[in-house]
Amino acid sequence: MLSEHDLVRALEGIGLGAPVRFDEVTGSTQATALAMAAEGAPEWTLVAAGHQTEGRGRLEREWRDTPGRGLLFSIVLRPALAPEDGGLLSLLAGTALAHACREVADRRAACKWPNDVLVAGRKVGGILAESAVAGGRFGYVVLGVGVNLVAPPSDLPLAGAVEAGAADLLDAFLARFARGYQPAHPAFAGAVVAAYREVCATLGMRVRATTTDGDLVEGEAVDVDERGGLVVRTPGGLRAVRFGAVEHLE
């Protein structure tokens, strides 16, 4: 299990210092980090826990973990990035997490669009991004990361896990993420998307996407566009999916 010392050391490892908080048990690291961000916590504030009782995933889904067998953390960011480009941060985090899993655990790790991480087709981790926008710019973005370690929760037989220590995986993730986190750079979008394409298991698959508006888009996933949207070739032409759930059909 992580400790507060591990969080401080992980940030120092990428040349940064910021507030950290570790709870053995918490409702949600995301809720804690969002509250801290709203109160003015600086960029790179890092919140982690050994177990969450109210963990959340994308699209209001529940995230369940086995106590002591998960990497569970949230990071406060304050990016100089247009809100409409915020999806790039999720892609960057997904890419960093896939590479971290490959580095310390399993070379097969890949991303299912937009930012679930799979190993051998089973979901081992996911990312949740939430933000506050004011005056047409981000006040803050909080990225929440959850990864099953050693074994998934017993009531999730279709999930997977990676054989890695929480501290090692956190170090590898932060190193990768910090290296690519240059939101003010004019080449940021292109670099994020290019790196994500290399680890995206969804490209080339036949998919069915249910958007947050309830639209059903089915076809072949052929690309990721400059803002992180999944481009799907359908009988009626190309469609870009920016939010919602995606199912791999083959």
- pLDDT of res. 186: 95
Residue 25 has, within 13 A of its CA and on its CB side, a CA count of: 3
At the fourth CATH level, the homologous superfamily of domain 4-199 is Bira Bifunctional Protein; Domain 2 (3.30.930.10)
Where is mean pLDDT largest: 60-69, 151-160, 203-212? Answer: 203-212
pLDDT digits (tens, 9 = 90+) for 102-148: 999 878 999 999 889 999 889 999 999 999 998 999 999 999 999 99
pLDDT, mean of residues 144-167: 90
The predicted structure's pLDDT at residue 137? 93
The half-sphere exposure of 12 on its side-chain side, counting CA atoms within 13 A, is 6
The more confident residue out of 229 and 61 is: 229
Of 12, 127, 5, the residue nearest 75 (C-alpha):
127
DSSP 42-110: PTT-EEEES-BSS-B-GGG-B----TTSEEEEEEEE---S-GGGTHHHHHHHHHHHHHHHHHHT-TT-E
Measured in residues, the chain has a length of 250
Burial 40-79 (b: 16+ CB within 10 A, else e): ebeebbbbbbbbbeebbbbeeeebbbbeebbbbbbbbbbb
Class of domain 206-248: mainly beta
Q: Which amino acid, one-letter code, is at 225?
A: D
Q: Which residue has the higher pLDDT, 87 or 245?
A: 87
Q: Indicate where the chain has its CATH 2.30.30.100 domain(s).
A: 206-248
Q: What is the mean pLDDT of residues 229-237?
A: 93
**What integer pLDDT is reported at residue 63 of this predicted model?**
73
For the chain, where do the domains classified as CATH 3.30.930.10 start and end?
Answer: 4-199
Please tell me the predicted confidence (pLDDT) of residue 60.
60
Instruction: Give CA angle at 99 (94, 102), nearest 5°.
Output: 130
More confident residue, 58 or 42: 42
| Structure-model confidence comparison of residues 63 and 218, the more confident one | 218
CA distances from 109 to 19, 112, 124, 148, 210 (A): 30, 10, 9, 13, 24
**pLDDT of 87 higher than 80:** yes
pLDDT at 1: 79
- Rounded mean pLDDT of 165-188? 97
Collapsing DSSP states into helix, strand and coil, what is residue 114?
A: coil
pLDDT tens-place string over residues 178-228: 999 999 999 999 999 999 999 999 999 999 988 777 788 999 999 999 989
Contacts within 8 Å (CB) and 24+ apart, 212-219 = 212/59, 212/243, 212/244, 213/244, 217/241, 218/249
The total of other beta-carbon atoms located within 10 Å of residue 22's CB is 20
pLDDT at residue 194, as a whole number: 97
Percent of the chain surpassing pLDDT 70? 97
Mean pLDDT of the chain: 92
pLDDT exceeds cutoff 60 at 59: no
Instruction: Cite the DSSP H helix spans in the chain.
Output: 4-13, 29-38, 87-104, 166-180, 188-199
Q: 19 pLDDT exceeds 60?
A: yes
